[in-house]
Structure 1
Amino acid sequence: MVAVTPVSERPDPPRVAWRRQMRERVLREAWTLAAQNGWDRVRIADLAERAEVSRPSIYKEFGDRAGVGQALVERETEHFLLGLAAVLGADRRSFYDALREGVAHALAEGRRNPFIRAVLMAARGGTDALLPFLTSRPDPVFSSARDLLTVWLAETVPGAAQQRRVEAADVAVRLTLSHMLLPGPGDADVPARVARATCAVLGVPGASAG
């Protein structure tokens, strides 16, 4: 009997695999250039040279420079949310500990990833370089993080009223993003402060919440 490899386990055709790799290389180089010099100075010619692909290939994949920017915003937002979800979903002794670690992760990502901070600033009028890529969702990091946290709170604190969970998610994300945009000398205590504030909105104990 001949074994049949499931479709999901079959390798991509060479053309599909090359396209995926090319797309990732271009976005990786776009991130590097934007982090170093700002999005205004990212050019298709530079991306083609650094990613070792032709300019026509980039135009065919992304349409134009704006298409690269849109794809990069979506990619970095997705990576940020996946990392946050992983931290929140890890085993912890309490809800408070998980939330505190989630805030700490978000702050660390804000320091590590200048592009995420640039997206946050663009959504708040800090720069117009990325504004054209935020038209479908003007504040993608904030709204997506709030949605993620609202769902997580429903699973983690099911006894809290729905409206309180929505308000708590909003408070937690707003406080966290404000510190990502305006870091201060006392940021080491921010995760605990945000977690306590969120617990207060939910009406559950602070460090002992579980």
Structure 2
Amino acid sequence: MPAARESLLDAAWTALARRPWPAVRMVDVAASAGVSRQTLYNEFGSKEGLARALVRREADAYLAGVERALAASADPCDRLTATAEWTAAAARDNALVRALLTGCWSERLPAPALSAAPSSSTVPAQRRADGPLPTPGDLVRLVRDRAATVLGGPAAGQDDGSALTRSCELVVRLALSCVTAPPDEGGIAELVRDALHRQPA
């Protein structure tokens, strides 16, 4: 029931924008999505399952945006700049992405355990959501390795010590610093280009 699942996740996201997660009620999420409360429980199992699925969806959307940023240009520096700008923008505009990237979960947000949760779900998407959620370090490695693979080929994405991989990690960590202390308008691109220019070849 993919359409109902997405509608329920959209309804949960809308509810979260209006009130803290502890005040979000399952019955209200179901009603807002136009489905029964039983359908909600069939899809997610519990409010914790709904929280895990919502966090997983936002993490996946962030990583899909990284893929788009890395494909936006032929120039490697432009690709890394776009990735850094996307990271900062996604964290600015989405509280769950910001929490995933920084590890700082406010009381307003669902804060599911990042370790895998016991799952008896028959819904494949929920079994995935019940698996481990990414830590900030996981996201740094995922983005770093993906960038290195796109820029240097499959072998580059698996060589933690290469200059390319180090440059990719530097850009990701620079972007995360811009999440917590935003630079002036247009500052991320300048910071990334300057940092890459100073990197040894």
Aligned CA RMSD, in angstroms, stands at 2.8
Match of 1:176 in 2: 175
Shift of 1:187: 4.6
Match of 2:145 in 1: 150
Unaligned runs of 5+ in 1: 1-18, 205-210
Match of 1:197 in 2: 195
User: TM-score, normalised on structure 1?
Assistant: 0.73
1:104 aligns with 2:103: no
AA of the residue aligned to 2:182: P
1:95 aligns with 2:72: no
Contact 1:31 1:115 in 2 (8 A): no
Contact 1:145 1:173 in 2 (8 A): yes
Structure 2 CA distance for partners of 1:35 and 1:118, relative to 1, 3 Å: farther
Structure 2 CA distance for partners of 1:68 and 1:118, relative to 1, 3 Å: same
SS in 1 for 2:186: helix
Distance 1:196 1:157 in 2: 21
AA of the residue aligned to 2:89: A
Structure 2 CA distance for partners of 1:61 and 1:125, relative to 1, 3 Å: closer
- Alignment match of 1:48 (pick from 19, 30, 41): 30
Q: How many residues align?
A: 182
Structure 2 CA distance for partners of 1:26 and 1:133, relative to 1, 3 Å: farther
1:70 aligns with 2:68: no
Contact 2:147 2:168 in 1 (8 A): no
Structure 2 CA distance for partners of 1:146 and 1:162, relative to 1, 3 Å: closer
Question: What do the CA deviations read for 1:91-148 (whole angstroms, capped 9, x no partner)?
Answer: 33x2111111221122222222233124345x24655953324224565455235323
Distance 1:47 1:187 in 2: 37
Structure 2 CA distance for partners of 1:200 and 1:126, relative to 1, 3 Å: farther
- Alignment match of 2:15 (pick from 9, 30, 33): 33
AA of the residue aligned to 1:109: A
AA of the residue aligned to 2:148: L
**Which shifted more, 174-183 or 38-47?**
174-183
Distance 1:74 1:200 in 2: 36
Contact 2:8 2:29 in 1 (8 A): yes
Structure 2 CA distance for partners of 1:177 and 1:190, relative to 1, 3 Å: same
Shift of 1:196: 3.0
Unaligned runs of 5+ in 2: 117-131
Give % identity. 27
Contact 1:142 1:174 in 2 (8 A): no
Contact 1:154 1:162 in 2 (8 A): no
Shift of 1:179: 1.8
Structure 2 CA distance for partners of 1:57 and 1:126, relative to 1, 3 Å: closer
AA of the residue aligned to 2:112: P
Q: State which structure, 1 or 2, has the greater radius of gyration over its C-alpha atoms.
A: 1
